Every structure is written in C-alpha cells, then in structure tokens.
Amino acid sequence: MKELQSEYQCAINLVIDLIGGKWKVLLLWHLNEGDKRFNELRRTIPEITKKMLTQQLRELEGHGLVKRTVFEEVPPRVVYSTTDFGHRLQPVLYGMCQWGDDYAEKEGIQMNSCWTGRDFMKNKSDLS
Amino acid sequence: MKELQSEYQCAINLVIDLIGGKWKVLLLWHLNEGDKRFNELRRTIPEITKKMLTQQLRELEGHGLVKRTVFEEVPPRVVYSTTDFGHRLQPVLYGMCQWGDDYAEKEGIQMNSCWTGRDFMKNKSDLS
DNA sequence: CGGCATCCCGAGCGATACTG
DNA sequence: CAGTATCGCTCGGGATGCCG
C-alpha cells in the first residue's frame, strides 16, 4: 500500500496524496451517497478493474477516510462507508469542484460531474 | 509539456492534474506573495533543480495559472506572477490546507507550512 | 463474492551536462 | 541569467489469471 511521506512541504500536497489516486475522488463520491458493497461499486464504475478497486479502497481505508466492514457470512459480504474524517473532507472537495467546473467551462473541457453544484446540493443537509 | 485529459470523471481530478506536480503548490504559494524571478525562486526553494523549476512553471503557465513576462535585456530577466484565474484558486487551496493540517496533526505528520492559517492571513486582504 | 499475485508499460521526476 | 537536452530509475496503474 502507498505510504504517505513522513514530512510535507505543505498540507495541500498531503491532501493530494490522500485523494490523488485515479479513482479515489469518484469512490468517495459514491460512498458519500451511502454505504456500498464491493461488487456494487464495480457495477457503478464498470471501467475499474478488481485490482484497482481493491487497491484504492484499501488505501482510503489505511489513511482513515473509508471504513471497511466484513460480515462473516457465506457468501462473504463487505461493506464500505466513509469515516467522520472522510465526511469532513466534503466541503473541501466541493470547493475544488466549483473552481474546476469554472475552469473546465472556460477551457472547453468535458466534465462528467460528481460534486457539481446540483448533485452536491442533494446531500448538503449532511454537512454540519 | 503535460497535457490535460480531454474529459474528466470529475472536476476535482482536473484540479489535481493542474496543481498535482511536485512543486506547483509551493510555487503558487511563493508567487502569491508577489512576482518572482527565476533565480529568486531557485534561491527560495534550493532543493528544486533548474529543469523541474522550468517545467513546473511552464505547465502552470500553459494551463493559465501563472503568467511569464520576459524583459528583453542583457542579462535576461524573466518575471513570473499569478493570473486572475490562479488567484481565484487561493480560497480553494486554503480550504485544502486547513483540512490537511487537521489530518496531519491527528496523524502526527510533520508539516512545513505554506497556506497554514497564520501564513495565509497575511494575504487575506487579497481575496475579493 | 471479494479478493490476491504477476507481469508489464509509460509518466514523472532526478542527475548531469550544455547554451544564447 | 534563464534556460535546453539527454539518460535512467521508480512507481502508479492496466491486463490477466488464480483462490477461499
């Protein structure tokens, strides 16, 4: 698993290391809607491989942004959810998304949303 | 130079591509204090190589976050400054830094600041 | 169902040397 | 002063196959 550096120039670089994985923002977004199972996430994001899904979830878990709960059943059931710390990251992600959407519009870059203004508002009541 | 993708899952990943280079946040921070010359930045950040400094500045310039002004003199003089768009990124970076500082404190990660609460306040009057 | 083990490739970054 | 050019390594991430 990806280890964080022991020291950073700036906390922003730490945040980038935490959420900079290719699928992490998308995963945090989906987990933000509610708890999800492994194959549920796979169906929601068909392009991701099992290896990458496992890896990104494990890193988010190891860094304390996501919680992994295993139910000892047959067949096995594993549920992922956001932690309090992960939840408090939402307004920050929202701010990034706002600026990024502006930038994308100005530069004519295509965007598939997640944390756009409208989608986020649905969950705004979640914020303290 | 690093090309942006033509399409993104989420604007947050776009933002990460824009500021995720190893030295970009630090450069934006220093340029935020005021315009800087090439070797001025090298002295401020002794660990960075000329190659990386050039590359990161060129990418920031190419993406519209930094402006490069060449004075046709001998010896040459080149001054870097933030654009309006780069300037409007500040509150977002500040938000990331706040959350990241909390995280670092909780996890016992050492931080060398830049956009910490106190340092940022000096420039708060800059914000619209 | 929910993984883990391998192999492989390209991007990001550093070191070093040269230049108008 | 302010760069450019080249080499080489590391590591993130994709493809594929096996497992309790």
Protein CB footprint (7 Å) on chain D nucleotides:
1-6, 12-17, 20
Residues of B within 8 A of A52 (CB-CB) are none
**Interior angle at CA B50, CA B23 and CA B115, nearest 5:** 25
Helix or strand holding residue A11 (H, E):
helix A11-19
Protein CB footprint (7 Å) on chain C nucleotides:
1-6, 11-17, 20
Q: Which pLDDT does position B128 carry in this prediction?
A: 47
Separation of alpha carbons A17 and A11, rounded Å: 10
Percent of chain A with pLDDT over 70: 90
Q: What is the dihedral sign for C-alpha A88, A90, A92, A93?
A: positive
Which of A14, A92, A109 lies closest to B8 in CB terms? A109
Strand D proximal to A51 Cβ, under 7 A: yes
Mean pLDDT to the nearest integer, B23-38: 97
Are B13 and A6 inside 8 Å of each other by CB?
A: no
Task: Give the pLDDT confidence of A5-15 residue by residue, as tens digits.
Answer: 999 999 999 99
Mean pLDDT to the nearest integer, B31-46: 97
Q: Domains in chain A, ordered, with CATH?
A: 11-125 (1.10.10.10)
Mean pLDDT to the nearest integer, B46-72: 98
Q: Residues with Cβ < 8 Å from A66, sequence gap 6 or more?
A: A27, A28, A31, A57, A60, A80, A81, A82, A83, A86
pLDDT at B82 over 50: yes
Quick one: which residue's CA is nearest to C6's C1'?
A: A51
Average pLDDT, chain A: 92
- Checking each nucleotide's C1' against the CA of A23, the nearest proves to be D13
* Nearest one of B99, B95, B60, B106 to B80, comparing CA atoms: B60
Q: Which pLDDT does position A124 carry in this prediction?
A: 53
Query: How many angstroms separate the CA of A38 from the C1' of C1?
Result: 8
Helices and strands (H and E) in chain A: how many = 7, 5
Which protein residues have Cβ within 7 A of any strand C atom? A 37-40, 50-51, 54, 57-58, 68, 75-78; B 2, 20-22, 48-52, 75-76
Task: Give the pLDDT confidence of A72-114 residue by residue, as tens digits.
Answer: 999 999 999 999 999 999 999 999 999 999 999 999 999 986 8
Q: Which pLDDT does position B125 carry in this prediction?
A: 52
Separation of alpha carbons B73 and B77, rounded Å: 7
Task: Give the pLDDT confidence of A33-71 residue by residue, as tens digits.
Answer: 999 999 999 999 999 999 999 999 999 999 999 999 999
Separation of alpha carbons A89 and B95, rounded Å: 10
pLDDT range class, residue A115, cuts 50, 70, 90:
confident
pLDDT range class, residue A128, cuts 50, 70, 90:
very low
- Higher-scoring residue by pLDDT: B121, B77: B77
Query: How many angstroms separate the CA of A48 from the C1' of D14?
Result: 10
User: Where is average pLDDT lowest: A14-18, B4-8, B36-40, B118-122?
Assistant: B118-122
Separation of alpha carbons A34 and A122, rounded Å: 13
pLDDT range class, residue A1, cuts 50, 70, 90:
confident
Query: How many angstroms separate the CA of B26 from the C1' of D11?
Result: 23
